[in-house]
C-alpha cells in the first residue's frame, strides 16, 4: 500500500473547513491528523503532531495566515505547507510561496488539482525509485464488438485485484444503456451513476462512496442508471470529475466501456493507464480492431495505451490463426484467453466471479496472470508465457498497421 500522508488543517471558517475535511476524509492517500480553527494555535498543533503536510486556508485573515506559513516553514521544516484560498490573485500566491508554501490550491476544490498537489508533495517528501508517488491504476476494458466478453474480463479482473488486501478496487459500468456488471456480481445497487450525475455540483468523497455497492470479493461497483431516459444526464464532464474522485480514493479503477464509443467512453479512455481491447479470432472483430486503433490515433495518448486481448481462443476450426490475426491488426497480441463457455455461462448466471466459482479453471488463472501483468512487477509481465511479448517481452506494443507507419 502507498505511504499515507498525515495532514493537519487550519481554517477559522467552519463551513469551508468542513468542506475541506469532507474531501480529505474520503481519500485513502491521506490521514487527517489534526484540525484547528485558530491561526494562533496552529503552529503549536503542528509542533506537537508533526504532520507531513500543513493545510492553511488563508481567506479569513491573509496577513495572519501568511505569517503562520512563515512560522511553520521555519520551525517545522519537515512539514510541507499547502495553501488553500478562493483567491487567484497573483500577488497573494507569490507572497504565500515566498513565505514558504510548497503548493497553492484554489477553492472550490477541484479534486484533480488537489490530488496532483498532494502527489507532488509526497514525491518530494517520500520519493520512490521512479521519482513518483503512488497513484491509482486505471484500466479501461473495451470490446471490438458486442458479445466478445469484455464485461466478463472487466468484472473478473476487478475481483482478482480485490483479493489482495493492499488493493482497493472500483468497477465503473459505462455501458449506460445496457450494462450488466451488477448482474455478473448478483447485486441490486441502491445508487447508480445517475445519482452521482445529479449531485455533481456538491459531489464529495462521502457522497461518492455512498453511491457504491461493495461485493463480498471486496470489489466496489458504480453501476449504470436504471432507466434508459436517464442516460443523457451523464456527460463526459461529469465523468471526468467522478474519475478524479475515484482515482484519489481507490488504488485501482476498472472502467467497463460501452460499444458505442461515446464522449463518455472517450473520457474513460483518456483517463486510463491501460486500455484492454477485447477481440475474437474472426474477421469482423479484427477489422474493428484496426478501425478503432486508427480512430484512437486521433486522440492524444490513447493509441499507445491499447493492449489487444484475444478471447475464446480454440472456439472452433473456423477461427483465424493467430499469425493471420497479427498480420491483420498490424501488431502483437498482448494475451490470449481460452474458450470455456460452460464455466463462463455458469459464472454469469449464478452471479459468482471466477475466483469463487472456478478458482482452478484455466481461464481463472489467465485472469490472475493478467492482473499481475498489468499491476504487478515488470518481471512478471515479461516472464508470463501467456503474454504476447514484443520488443524483448516488454508488453508495450505498437498497433499502427504497418502500411500506415510514417
pLDDT tens across 276-314, in order?
Answer: 999 999 999 999 999 999 999 999 999 999 999 999 998
For residue 374, the surrounding DSSP H or E stretch is: helix 362-375
C-alpha–C-alpha distance, residues 222 and 213, integer Å: 7
pLDDT tens across 59-79, in order?
Answer: 999 999 999 999 999 999 999
Residue 174: pLDDT over 80: yes
**Residues paired with 8 in a beta bridge:** 34, 54
Burial class (CB in 10 A: 0-12, 13-18, 19+), 70: middle
Q: Is the pTM of this model over 0.85?
A: no
5-125 and 137-404: same fold? yes
Residue 9: pLDDT over 50: yes
Neighbours of 174 (CB within 10 A): 25
For residue 268, the surrounding DSSP H or E stretch is: helix 263-271
Name every residue whose Cβ is closer than 8 Å to that of residue 296 and which is 6 or more positions away in sequence: 269, 275, 302, 303, 306
- Reading phi first (left if > 0) and then psi (alpha if -120 to 50, else beta), residue 261 is in left
Architecture of domain 5-125: 3-Layer(aba) Sandwich (3.40)
Domain covering 137-404 in this structure, CATH number: 3.40.50.300
Position 385 scores a pLDDT of 43
pLDDT tens across 143-160, in order?
Answer: 999 999 999 999 999 999
Whole-angstrom distance between the N-terminal and C-terminal Cα of the chain?
Answer: 42
Name every residue whose Cβ is closer than 8 Å to that of residue 159 and which is 6 or more positions away in sequence: 215, 217, 218, 219, 353, 354, 355
Give whole-number Cα distances, 329 to 294, 306, 335, 338, 396, in Å. Answer: 11, 12, 14, 20, 15
Name every residue whose Cβ is closer than 8 Å to that of residue 329 and which is 6 or more positions away in sequence: 286, 289, 290, 293, 308, 399, 401
C-alpha–C-alpha distance, residues 130 and 132, integer Å: 6
Neighbours of 337 (CB within 10 A): 23
Going by pLDDT thresholds of 50, 70 and 90, the confidence category of residue 378 is: very low
Q: Can you list the alpha helix ranges (DSSP code H) found in 50-87?
A: 62-75
Domain positions in the chain are 5-125, 137-404
Going by pLDDT thresholds of 50, 70 and 90, the confidence category of residue 133 is: very low
pLDDT tens across 325-354, in order?
Answer: 999 999 999 999 999 989 999 999 999 999
Which of 115 and 336 is assigned the larger pLDDT?
A: 336
| Pair 236, 104: CB distance under 8 Å | no
Mean pLDDT of 82-110: 94
For residue 277, the surrounding DSSP H or E stretch is: strand 274-279
Mean of per-residue pLDDT scores for the chain = 86
Mean pLDDT of 87-111: 93
Give whole-number Cα distances, 211 to 37, 170, 191, 204, 223, in Å. Answer: 31, 12, 5, 11, 9
Position 204 scores a pLDDT of 61
| Grid cell for residue 171 | 468497477
Residue 404: pLDDT over 60: no
Amino acid at each position: 500500500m502507498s505511504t499515507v500522508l498525515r495532514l493537519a488543517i487550519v481554517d477559522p471558517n467552519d463551513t469551508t473547513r468542513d468542506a475541506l475535511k469532507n474531501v480529505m476524509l474520503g481519500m485513502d492517500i491521506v490521514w487527517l491528523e489534526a484540525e484547528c480553527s485558530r491561526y494562533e494555535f496552529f503552529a503549536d498543533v503542528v509542533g506537537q503532531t508533526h504532520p507531513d503536510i500543513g493545510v492553511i486556508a488563508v481567506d479569513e485573515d491573509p496577513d495572519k495566515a501568511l505569517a503562520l506559513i512563515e512560522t511553520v516553514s521555519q520551525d517545522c521544516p519537515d512539514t510541507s505547507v499547502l495553501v488553500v484560498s478562493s483567491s487567484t490573485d497573483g500577488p497573494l500566491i507569490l507572497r504565500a510561496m515566498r513565505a514558504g508554501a510548497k503548493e497553492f490550491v484554489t477553492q472550490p476544490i477541484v479534486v484533480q488539482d488537489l490530488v496532483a498537489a498532494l502527489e507532488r508533495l509526497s514525491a518530494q517528501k517520500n520519493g520512490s525509485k521512479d521519482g513518483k508517488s503512488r497513484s491509482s491504476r486505471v484500466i479501461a476494458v473495451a470490446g471490438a464488438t458486442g458479445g466478445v466478453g469484455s464485461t466478463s474480463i472487466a468484472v473478473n479482473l476487478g475481483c482478482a485485484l480485490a483479493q489482495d488486501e493492499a488493493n482497493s478496487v472500483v468497477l465503473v459500468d459505462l455501458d449506460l444503456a445496457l450494462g450488466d456488471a451488477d448482474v455478473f456480481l448478483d447485486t441490486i445497487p441502491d445508487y447508480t451513476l445517475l445519482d452521482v450525475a445529479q449531485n455533481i455540483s456538491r459531489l464529495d468523497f462521502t457522497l461518492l462512496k455512498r453511491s457504491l455497492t461493495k461485493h463480498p470479493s471486496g470489489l466496489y461497483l458504480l453501476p449504470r442508471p436504471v432507466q434508459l431516459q436517464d442516460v443523457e444526464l451523464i456527460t463526459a464532464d461529469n465523468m471526468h470529475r467522478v474519475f478524479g474522485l475515484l482515482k484519489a480514493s481507490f488504488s485501482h479503477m476498472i472502467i467497463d466501456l460501452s460499444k458505442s464509443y461515446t464522449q463518455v467512453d472517450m473520457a474513460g479512455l483518456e483517463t486510463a493507464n491501460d486500455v484492454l481491447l477485447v477481440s475474437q479470432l474472426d474477421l469482423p472483430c479484427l477489422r474493428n480492431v484496426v478501425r478503432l486503433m486508427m480512430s484512437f490515433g486521433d486522440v492524444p495518448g490513447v493509441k499507445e495505451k491499447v493492449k489487444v486481448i484475444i478471447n475464446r481462443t480454440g472456439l472452433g476450426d473456423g477461427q483465424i490463426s493467430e499469425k493471420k490475426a497479427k498480420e491483420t491488426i498490424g501488431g502483437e497480441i498482448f494475451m490470449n484467453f481460452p474458450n470455456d463457455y460452460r464455466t463462463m455461462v455458469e459464472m454469469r448466471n449464478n452471479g459468482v466471479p471466477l475466483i469463487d466459482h472456478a478458482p482452478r479453471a484455466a481461464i481463472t488463472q489467465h485472469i490472475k496472470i493478467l492482473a499481475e501483468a498489468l499491476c504487478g512487477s515488470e518481471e512478471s509481465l515479461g516472464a508470463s508465457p501467456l503474454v504476447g511479448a514484443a520488443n524483448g517481452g516488454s508488453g508495450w506494443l505498437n498497433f499502427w498497421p504497418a502500411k500506415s507507419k510514417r
